[in-house]
Amino acid sequence: MKRKVKKTIAALLIFLLPALYCLADPPGPPDPGGNPFGGGGVPVGGPIDDGTLMLIGMGMGYIAVKYLKKLKTHNEEKESVE
């Protein structure tokens, strides 16, 4: 029973923490005043942070599942030998 609870808690942490991070408020709009440090427009392009964190989170989940499957087969082989 303890193993099942630990696995459930680990899965929730792996999958929910990156999702909760993405719910943060985006930064506010720039100030309406002029730029005292020189000219130039607003940089074009989107932030890469949100998608990167989700990708890392899913990769960690994939690695955890593969590791647990390998650990399970290793333990089954060990029990069958003994």
Q: How much is the pLDDT for 40?
A: 58
Residues 38-52 as b or e (16 or more Cβ within 10 Å = b): eeeeeeeeeeeeeee
User: Taking the model in full, what pTM does it have?
Assistant: 0.39
Backbone angles phi, psi at 60, to 5 degrees: -65, -40
What integer pLDDT is reported at residue 31 of this predicted model? Answer: 64
Q: Beta-strand (E) ranges in 1-82?
A: none
pLDDT the model gives residue 32: 66
11-70: per-residue pLDDT in tens? 888 888 777 777 767 777 766 665 556 555 666 666 666 677 888 899 999 999 999 999
Between these two residues, 49 and 79, which has the higher pLDDT value? 79
